[in-house]
Structure 1
């Protein structure tokens, strides 16, 4: 009598990194909403800074007769993106590693790419909402004119995307350099210095040349400049160091930092704390 062999049931294929990334994005958004302090900081910080500076310097104009609130909007929008991506992501990942959450994700078989996509997705959604609130307040409370041309909104879109992605991968990269306390303190200090160097609070062309040269190495300066090209009149480009908005250079610098951040992430990202 011949035995009949029953074929073993096929195991379902594991989900792709993209599917895991989408699921992680939803999870990251839920975790973000459940943290009131992070929600308040992400949405209130740019608005509070806009209110303070626009109120203190209400009677002052920037180059070309541009009202201060209009000029400052570019810088505060850019720094909001940096804080939501670079600072928040770097601090959060270091804390998750210290709490052992990353080790549990690794045990469950979560691919690093899926985890990174989840962080990037959460940053992009949060950034869009943050900017929508900020622009609404600027337009309604301070009469800041928003762009009326489709080309400016297209520039706005790729500058936001490039800045958010660069900030996210760099945040992931720096999260591997130490404990949550050292990473958090280091990122916060670096972010404050970079804001002053990058022309967030001042007219960039009026900063000392050595500050301009240092700032030009980092993405925030280009993110701020890209935002100025969106919210300021074309004539304002004349006071930029190069006499133009340098969109091509802005795109290249942001893309370069995304690539640099990805390379560092691939080499340095750690799921577990090291002794």
Structure 2
């Protein structure tokens, strides 16, 4: 077994172990459950609302977009926050000091965040299916399409998270990452049709993966006739795949470059400097 396959295997195992520790830690577990429970409550309250003349449940139409939003949040912020925190506490430096340590470290983070995203998806989809009518959950094709969009969404989101996590060294600056993501969610048609936005806002939303993830999830889980509420009255399958694949390819090219530059700058002195600044802020 060569060094590469060994690193991949150890990294995957590390990701599973860290994920298990997350679910055994009450504080971390609450951080996973509370957002999902809050969204479920909101969807439950929206279940009797209707989308215009279609008569379709507003809650059921919103659920797929919420699933896409959850994937983006987990993929980007989950990986970015981990990288920022573990740069400060020295975990990243220790990984750098071991043979193939960075590869093992990153594989572990990707595996852990990806599984966390899947768990978050199921936490919304499974309970939501019991009180929201009209979801296309009895079709093998729908599940395959959902799986495909999930994989593409993670491939598009995780490299962005790695880039953000490499650019910021202070966990307290994490709001800089969150604010633009929240703004994009607001204009990406997650909780209401994007057609309600001005044309220039629609254009901005379509540049980023949040809109396409939401659209892909709606295409997989909603009846075909609901496409009338979308731009062009179509699910735009090819455009969705193309946009998410483009973001994934850009991220796969850019993220390793940024990560390598970040890893080269990591040293004991830089970590101690960040720690001293953190202590000064506390004092």
TM-score (norm 1): 0.87
| Paired position in structure 1 for 2:128 | 138
| Paired position in structure 2 for 1:188 | 178
Match status 1:24 vs 2:21: no
Q: Measured at CA, do residues 112 and 259 of structure 1 come closer, stay the same or move farther in structure 2, by a change above 3 Å? A: farther
Is the contact made by 1:175 and 1:183 (CA closer than 8 Å) also made in structure 2? no
Q: Which runs of 4+ in 1 moved over 6 A?
A: none
Q: Whole-Å Cα distance in 1 between the matches of residues 118 and 253 of structure 2? A: 26
Q: Whole-Å Cα distance in 2 between the matches of residues 134 and 90 of structure 1? A: 23
| Paired position in structure 1 for 2:79 | 89
Match status 1:65 vs 2:62: no
| Paired position in structure 2 for 1:115 | 105
Give me the CA root mean square deviation: 2.2
Q: Whole-Å Cα distance in 1 between the matches of residues 135 and 57 of structure 2? A: 10
Q: Report which stretch shifted further, 127-136 or 212-221.
A: 127-136
Question: How far 1:159 sits from its partner (Å)?
Answer: 0.4
Q: Whole-Å Cα distance in 2 between the matches of residues 68 and 119 of structure 1? A: 35
Question: How far 1:44 sits from its partner (Å)?
Answer: 2.9
Counterpart of 1:104 (choices 94, 97, 102) is 94
Match status 1:242 vs 2:239: no
Q: Measured at CA, do residues 239 and 114 of structure 1 come closer, stay the same or move farther in structure 2, by a change above 3 Å? A: same
Stretches of structure 2 lacking an aligned partner (at least 5 in a row): 274-283
Residues 34-77 of structure 1 show CA distances to partners (whole Å, capped at 9, x for unaligned) of: 5433332333313312312431x444211522101101101211
| Paired position in structure 2 for 1:8 | none
| Paired position in structure 2 for 1:37 | 27
Q: Whole-Å Cα distance in 2 between the matches of residues 94 and 125 of structure 1? A: 20
Q: Measured at CA, do residues 79 and 42 of structure 1 come closer, stay the same or move farther in structure 2, by a change above 3 Å? A: farther
Is the contact made by 1:86 and 1:167 (CA closer than 8 Å) also made in structure 2? yes
Match status 1:213 vs 2:214: no
Q: Measured at CA, do residues 60 and 14 of structure 1 come closer, stay the same or move farther in structure 2, by a change above 3 Å? A: closer
Question: How far 1:141 sits from its partner (Å)?
Answer: 3.4
Q: Measured at CA, do residues 191 and 36 of structure 1 come closer, stay the same or move farther in structure 2, by a change above 3 Å? A: farther
TM-score (norm 2): 0.84
The structure whose residues are more often helix, as a share, is 2
Secondary structure at 1:69 match in 2:
helix
| Paired position in structure 2 for 1:233 | 223
Question: How far 1:156 sits from its partner (Å)?
Answer: 0.2
Q: Whole-Å Cα distance in 1 between the matches of residues 249 and 101 of structure 2? A: 19
Is the contact made by 2:190 and 2:214 (CA closer than 8 Å) also made in structure 1? yes
Q: Whole-Å Cα distance in 1 between the matches of residues 17 and 100 of structure 2? A: 13
Q: Measured at CA, do residues 131 and 13 of structure 1 come closer, stay the same or move farther in structure 2, by a change above 3 Å? A: closer
Q: Report which stretch shifted further, 185-194 or 12-21.
A: 12-21
Question: How far 1:152 sits from its partner (Å)?
Answer: 1.1
Question: How far 1:202 sits from its partner (Å)?
Answer: 1.4
Counterpart of 1:78 (choices 52, 58, 68) is 68
Match status 1:161 vs 2:160: no
Question: How far 1:110 sits from its partner (Å)?
Answer: 3.4
Q: Report which stretch shifted further, 168-177 or 29-38.
A: 29-38
| Paired position in structure 1 for 2:118 | 128
Alignment length (residue pairs): 263
